[in-house]
Amino acid sequence: MANNIIGVCMGHFHDTVHAKILKNISTKAKNSGFRLQIYASYEDIYVLDESDYGDIRVYEDIDMSAFCAVIIFSETIKKQNIIDKVIEKATEANIPAISLEREEKGCYCVLFDHGDAFEDIVRHVIEHHKVKRVDLIAGMRDNDFSETRIQVYRDILTENGIEVDENRIKYGNFWKMPALEAAKELLEYDIPEAIICANDAMAVPVCQYVESLGYKVPEDIIITGYDGLDSALFNIPSITTAGPIYKNLAEACLEMITSIILGSYPSWEEAKPVAVTNTLIKGQSCGCMKPTLEYYSKRIAELSSRLEDQFTHSHNMFRMVNKACTKGFTVEEIMRSMPFYMHPMLKCKFMYLCAYDNYMDLGENNPGDETDCTILFEYMEGENFYPMKRIKSKDILPDFDSLLRTDCAIIVLPIHYKGDILGYMCVGHDPNEIEYVQLRSVGLNINNIFGNTNTQRELRTINEKLEHMYNRDALTNLFNRRGFYDELAKYKLTNKRKNYLVASIDLNGLKYINDNYGHAEGDYAIVAIAKLIEGFDEADRIVARIGGDEYVMFVASDTPKEKLEKLVEDYLIEGMERINERSGKKYEITGSYGLAVDAMKNIDRFEEVLKLADDIMYIHKRKRYLR
């Protein structure tokens, strides 16, 4: 493996902020001679529900020996034990791990200096806009980010001679609904001149809520946020906020990795976190930016374009899932139904879909075996391939070294269903061209397609079991009466034989065996006769146990009638003799039988032929008991 690969572990890769960070890191890495291999989960692994168990497998199968370093988006993976395992793997592989946005034991750290930028916002509102009645909607209670911002707010108010009124501080938990409740309580207490929100996710709905009450922003109430999200910049009015300079973060990461590799950087125990400063972004919600027709036209055009792209994408995803789930009956058919809707919209360089053996019905899912994975679909240089090629799952991709020489990053996403990992999707791409939101949608819909396939497979298995239960005799596994007639009806539609024979067979002395030797021995005798008649394979045949000691056998053959009858009779006589020679039982296992033959063109007279065979069988049975 090449030693210029930087591994990346992250959840919620489609999130706007994290996607921007990833794109900037990728650009800087590319310019510095590195390539990214990204292992991403669809969710942030917060509650560890059934779906999350499939998601986290993407981190468990990483081969850290392929990397020169690993970057962990620690704030995007909520379960600490998963981060700890990734760090442990990196330590075992003797490569540096860099944690973003949060300090982690065993890691170097690059984070945002939120304090300075939030201080800039508060100072801007109080010192530049000269307001005194300033409310704060913080995040979660006892959260470090939240409590730090509350303290900054208190300090700047005190510094500017404004009394800190605790009634003007509410917790909004960093998201919409609690923030709206907090805004309602603040407005009921007193109408402020400004509401400072601890993030944009609260500022946007609070702005909309304030305006719905008839207040104008910023004329009546100034609203500010934090994070620099697109939702804040696209809001009307645009929200004054603060956001990271993503380029600076990427440069800090790559400079750190380069220095560590060159041996000119201290150990993680000695190294201090590198802080990247956020910057104030002035918007319309504080009055610093004046709305213009040009501004609104540009924003509307951008939003319209995004909505159109999203509509097209959603439509294609619906068609892809619908076609795959209704037209695909084999794995290859399903794969062939998907590419038209899949990779063109992603603008990817190459794509692979690989399935573990548990999805392909080739055995247990056991990553690490010599060949335990199958390449179902490959997109390369504008062409689609369906190789169905077996590879080692730990290799991730065939011809991996040559793919790494392509000018792109690689993202690995899990394919899972009900907590089971079924496979993975690898996409080679330029992070500045791909839409990660659409990539996530493609991945989740592929999960649904794989899941639907598994569901259909499970349903077929259940139906087969039900059919077996309804059509088969539990003791002998022969058809029961219902199963016999179902199979006979199918055969009538396809038969090409000249003649057919019906054998009515009755086990002799079953009650005697049960009464004198026990029901287990009676069952033995029943099964012995069943195996005998089932073993006749000279021609097409259907065999059934239609009662406690009664059997029927249908045989279709091109053999002449008389010869066919003798062939079956000789088989039954010799077979019963063999049973008794080999059984070693104290009782004899025999059966009375009646045979009747007719031309296949007269198959509609089957019931008459069966009755004739029954009559002959009972004649033989009576003769046996009269001896």
Q: Other CB atoms closer than 10 Å to residue 118's CB: what's the count? A: 24
- The DSSP symbol for 415 reads E
pLDDT at residue 310, rounded to an integer: 73
Q: Which residues of 588-620 are buried (b: 16+ CB within 10 A; e: fewer)?
A: ebbbbbbbbbbebeebeebeebbebbbebbeeb
pLDDT tens figures, 250-274:
999 999 999 999 999 999 999 999 9
Spatial contact of 354 and 424, defined as CB atoms under 8 Å apart: yes
Model pLDDT, residue 401: 60
pLDDT: which is higher, 238 or 364: 238
d(CA 335, CA 125): 56
pLDDT at 1: 39
Q: How many CB atoms lie within 10 A of CB 234?
A: 15
**Stretch among 98-102, 221-225, 241-245, 455-459 having the lowest mean pLDDT:** 455-459
Q: For the CA atoms of 389, 391, 397, 403, what is the dihedral angle to 10 degrees?
A: -70
φ/ψ of 241, rounded to 5, equals -150, -170
Q: Which two three-digit tokens encode residue 72?
A: 């962990």
* Range list of β-strands (E), 418-531: 420-429, 499-507
Question: Got the DSSP string for 583-618?
Answer: H--SS---EEEEEEEEEGGGGGGHHHHHHHHHHHHH
Crossing angle, helix 481-494 and helix 436-471, to 10 degrees? Answer: 110
Q: Give the per-residue pLDDT at 373.
A: 83
Percent of the chain with pLDDT over 70: 93
Confidence at 366, pLDDT banded by 50, 70, 90: very low
Q: What is the pLDDT of residues 7-45, one digit of tens each?
A: 999 998 888 888 889 999 999 998 998 989 999 999 888
* Spatial distance between the Cα atoms of 171 and 166, rounded to a whole number of angstroms: 11
| d(C-alpha 12, C-alpha 476), whole Å | 55
Structure tokens at 478: 């022969």
Check pLDDT > 80 for residue 315: no
pLDDT, tens only, 329-356:
667 777 877 777 766 656 788 888 888 8
pLDDT tens track for 417-427: 877 888 899 99
Instruction: State the Cα–Cα distance between residues 291 and 284, nearest whole angstrom.
Output: 7
User: How confident is the model at residue 200, as a pLDDT?
Assistant: 95
Confidence of residue 242 (pLDDT cuts 50, 70, 90): very high
Q: Write out the two tokens for 448.
A: 């649904």
The dihedrals phi and psi of 30, each to the nearest 5 degrees, come to: -60, -45
Q: Which runs of consecutive H residues, i.e. helices, occur in 143-285? A: 144-159, 176-189, 200-212, 230-234, 246-262
Q: What is the mean predicted confidence (pLDDT) over 318-327?
A: 74
Nearest residue to 17 via CA among 207, 322, 244: 244
Report residue 586 as tokens: 């104290």
Rg (CA), the chain: 37
3-state secondary structure 165-195: CHHHEEECCCCHHHHHHHHHHHHHHCCCCEE
Q: Are 155 and 149 in contact (CB under 8 A)?
A: no
- The stretch 48-53 carries a mean pLDDT of 77
Give the model confidence (pLDDT) of 433-453 as tens digits: 888 888 888 888 888 888 887
Backbone phi, psi, residue 562, to 5°: -65, -40
CA 45 to chain centre: 14
Taking the alpha carbons of 124, 127, 129, 131 in that order, is the dihedral positive or negative? Answer: positive
pLDDT at 363 over 50: no
What's the whole-number mean pLDDT along residues 90-104? 94
CA atoms within 13 A on the CB side of 241: 25
Pair of tokens at residue 365: 């899912």
Which 3 state secondary structure label does DSSP give 91? Answer: helix
Which whole number is the average pLDDT over 389-411?
A: 70
Residues 6+ apart with CB under 8 A from 315: none
Query: How far are the Cα atoms of 304, 309, 321, 333, 429 from residue 315, in angstroms, in the given order?
Result: 16, 10, 10, 21, 23
pLDDT digits (tens, 9 = 90+) for 169-220: 999 999 999 999 999 999 999 999 999 999 999 999 999 999 999 999 999 9
